[in-house]
Every structure is written in C-alpha cells, then in structure tokens.
Structure 1
Amino acid sequence: MTDSERTFLDVAIMDALPQLQAVNKNILEEHLQSIGVEMYDDLRFVTEADLMTALRPVEARKLLSVWKRKYHTPENSSLSSLEASPTQSLPSLSVSPKVHRQAPPAAQDLTHSGMKTLKFHGVNFLRK
C-alpha cells in the first residue's frame, strides 16, 4: 500500500503500534469504522473498552496514549479551550482561614448578672 492509498486510521494505528500485524491492524481499523470513527477528531472519543475486542490490554493503552498526545492537541481538535483544559478558564480560588466577624455596629452586647443581652437593631436577645 502506498502512502497515498493509506487511510487516516491506518496512519493513526501504525504511528502508535508500528509492530502490529497487518491482519490485526485491519481488524482494528474495521472495528473503529464500525463504532463510528470517521476522522482524526473522532479518536478523542475512543475508550480502552472500545479497543478490547481487537487489541490486548497493553496494546490498547499504548494506542490511546499515543493518540492522546498526537491527536488531542487544540490545533487538531474542535474542543473549546474550556473542554481542553477545564482548569485553564476557571478563576483561581483561594481558601482563607475562617474569620470571626464582629457584630455590626448596630448591635450592642450588654452584660447583666450573668445574662447577656444582645441588642440588634433595637431588638433585645437574651443569652446565657
């Protein structure tokens, strides 16, 4: 098969698993077509479980690892920047220690014979 006759799946498979036997490569290529892989961008949706009928577990992991590095880049994918890197677009959040807030200026703490009266906007609250 010449380079001009190779399908994108043949190229994607052989780039990742160059030692894969031709018969296994053909089975895998047919399987990927049967599950709906029609272009390079579709490779990002392929899971390890999708490959288990045509490859051994380690071969499937190798293939996905190469595809992830090679075909899931922003310039080769229609992913938005948020999908490509969910933490990139999120604002950074900082966690600060709990701060004890003081009562608003309208509140007054009055102590009478062991009882506390909290006066808040003209309403008295009793506390022990």
Structure 2
Amino acid sequence: MKVEIFDPAMCCSTGVCGPSVDPELTRVASAVYSLGKKGFEINRYNLTSEPNAFAENNEITRILNEKGPDALPVTLVNNQVKKVGEYPTNEELSEWFGVKTAELKEKPKVKLSIDLKQL
C-alpha cells in the first residue's frame, strides 16, 4: 500500500505553521506522522518545495492541466487518484492501511534546545 498526498503551495512541508493553523492540516500532519512511524509508505509533497514530484507524476500533471492548482490536494493510493480537492479523512486512511483511527492522532514531538549562555 502506497499513499501519496500532493499538497497545494504552502509555507512549509506540513502547512502547520504561521499564526493561524488550519485544523485540517494539523489532522493530516498527525495522521501522516503516525502512519510513517508505523512503517507505512505515505508521503506528502508540497508544490512550493517539491515541484518535481508534481511534474514527474502523470496523473498529477493531468489534473493540474485540467483543473489548475485549485484541484489540490490530490491523494493517490497505489498510483490511482482517490481524492481531489480535499484531504483523505482519518477513516479513509485507517481503512486503506488497516489501522484504527485512534492510531492516527500521534503528534510529532519537537525537541527544543536553549543555549542559556546566549540569553
């Protein structure tokens, strides 16, 4: 099972940055992180930082040519288009990967280091 999510242009790889974070992006980032940690093949590509992933995929190129960037996000499952214009739900992801939806809510932990000598 391989899932690829092609995101619209965003300021960072997850879109979970800036002063007002879209809860949908937080949900997707948590699900992708949780599935990746379990060893599943799931990838997200950001149009801003990874344009080659879009250009090299015939299905994504076709969708962008037909509908433009407003068609994003697009989700492929085993190279087949499953969703256009919206992210997969946690229920869809759990069905595709055979896991419980509760397993998709782990949040990435960010380690911060503070150099007190600089303060």
| TM-score category, normalised to shorter length | under 0.3
Q: Give the TM-score normalised by the residue count of structure 1.
A: 0.24
Higher-strand-fraction structure: 2
Higher-helix-fraction structure: 1
Q: Give the TM-score normalised by the residue count of structure 2.
A: 0.25
Larger radius of gyration: 1
Q: Tell me: higher relative CO, structure 1 or 2? Use CA pairs within 8 A at least 6 residues apart.
A: 2
